């Protein structure tokens, strides 16, 4: 198919695109109709026939293996190294708990985990669990935040300084969920490995968005959510481990329709859409949006274009993120998200939009022109939205 024809076919298979301009796959991607149908079919069987018969159980085990294979394929890793999980938080927690701690003299201070100031919520929750587990065993810990930086050399220099004899774990997002920057994950892994520290990564904003060969990243573990760029249901994801330990997530605790849904979503992306198209067009749409926004007076682009994936983060002078998103939502049915790029403020300080391969050039242009309108006004001076008068209304 030519790109225009393929975009039309993809959009026809994603019903929620008719409800508005969906630019928040970084939170949850549009659910393909085929995925919803596969989940409904299994739920209908369980409702009408039951869930306890041996044949159904055997078939579900086969579906579990299909999900593992699908996750392995999209990550570019071996099947035996992949475990389906409830999501990135569970995957990262399992990975952190599986990291063998070297025998160290900790009299000089607590064991150290290192992350970045723009780490994902999944990383934060996993590190909290890791710290609590070690504290219960009488081993004190600390989590060191490195300031996020657009400059790879500065970030690696800060990491180099933090990797002392107490550092045992580095936990980072492959793609920053706030700035959209692609971190130099292989360089981070090589530096940490040289100092004896393990690296676990949250790939939720990378898998399904950018080309990925997890075995080339040199990480010890890589976890993903299934409901973001992989377009699967919530509550299911995957964990890849370089050296898979015997203790892994119990796959039979996962919601069977969700396991089927994730396998079908990845299969749909891989075979119906094609990952080459997904990656190429998704990143192109994001770059186009970033460039258009950067050209608008009053807009500060936070995402570094030279090292971006499919997330575009920006600020509009004079506008709080929530107010800007509310105005954009009412004017053009846009779905976006406010994010906090700094730990200084309690709430969001920027707007985050995340286009996909299904986004159209017309949608990008409409967003850019609406942002231009907001940037030329304050919330008080902005011309009122057009309203439709209803006959008989008071």
Mean local confidence (pLDDT), 242-253: 59
pLDDT, position 244: 62
- Give pLDDT tens digits for 53-62: 787 778 888 8
The yes-or-no verdict on residue 290 having pLDDT over 90 is yes
pLDDT over 90 (residue 102): no
pLDDT of residue 392: 59
The pLDDT of residue 389 is 58
Kindly indicate the confidence band of residue 247, based on its pLDDT and cuts at 50, 70 and 90.
very low
Which pLDDT score is estimated for 77?
A: 83
Please, what is the average pLDDT of the chain? Answer: 91
Model confidence at 99: pLDDT above 90? no
65 forms beta bridges with: none
Q: Tell if the pTM clears 0.85, that is, is over it.
A: yes
Residue 251 has pLDDT above 60, yes or no: no
342 falls in which pLDDT band (50, 70, 90)? Answer: confident
């Amino acid at each position: 198919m030519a790109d225009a024809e393929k975009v039309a076919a993809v959009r026809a298979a994603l019903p929620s695109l008719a409800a508005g301009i969906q630019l928040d796959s970084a939170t949850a991607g549009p659910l393909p109709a085929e995925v919803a149908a596969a989940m409904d079919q299994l739920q209908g069987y369980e409702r009408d026939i039951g869930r306890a018969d041996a044949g159904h159980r055997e078939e579900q085990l086969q579906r579990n293996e299909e999900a593992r294979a699908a996750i392995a394929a999209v990550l570019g890793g071996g099947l035996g190294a992949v475990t389906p999980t409830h999501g990135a938080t569970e995957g990262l927690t399992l990975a952190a708990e599986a990291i063998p701690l070297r025998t160290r003299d900790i009299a000089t201070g607590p064991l150290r985990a290192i992350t970045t100031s723009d780490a994902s919520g999944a990383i934060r929750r996993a590190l909290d669990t890791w710290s609590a587990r070690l504290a219960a065993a009488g081993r004190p810990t600390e989590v060191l935040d490195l300031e996020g930086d657009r400059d790879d050399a500065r970030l690696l220099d800060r990491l180099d300084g933090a990797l002392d004899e107490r550092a045992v774990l580095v936990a980072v997002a492959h793609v920053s969920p706030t700035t959209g920057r692609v971190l130099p994950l292989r360089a981070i892994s090589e530096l940490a490995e040289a100092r004896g520290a393990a690296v676990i990564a949250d790939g939720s904003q990378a898998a399904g968005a950018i080309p990925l060969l997890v075995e080339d990243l040199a990480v010890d573990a890589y976890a993903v959510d299934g409901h973001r760029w992989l377009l699967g249901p919530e509550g299911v994801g995957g964990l890849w481990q370089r050296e898979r330990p015997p203790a892994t997530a119990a796959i039979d605790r996962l919601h069977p329709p969700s396991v089927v849904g994730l396998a079908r979503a990845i299969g749909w992306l891989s075979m119906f859409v094609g990952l080459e198209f997904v990656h190429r067009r998704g990143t192109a749409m994001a770059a186009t949006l970033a460039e258009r926004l950067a050209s608008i007076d009053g807009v500060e682009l936070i995402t570094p274009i030279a090292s971006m994936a499919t997330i575009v983060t920006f600020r509009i002078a004079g506008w709080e993120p929530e107010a800007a998103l509310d105005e954009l939502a009412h004017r053009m049915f846009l779905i976006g998200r406010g994010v906090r790029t700094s730990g200084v403020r309690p709430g969001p300080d920027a707007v985050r939009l995340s286009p996909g391969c299904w986004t159209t050039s017309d949608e990008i242009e409409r967003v850019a022109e609406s942002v231009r309108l907001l940037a030329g006004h304050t919330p008080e001076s902005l011309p009122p939205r057009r309203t439709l008068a209803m006959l008989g209304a008071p």
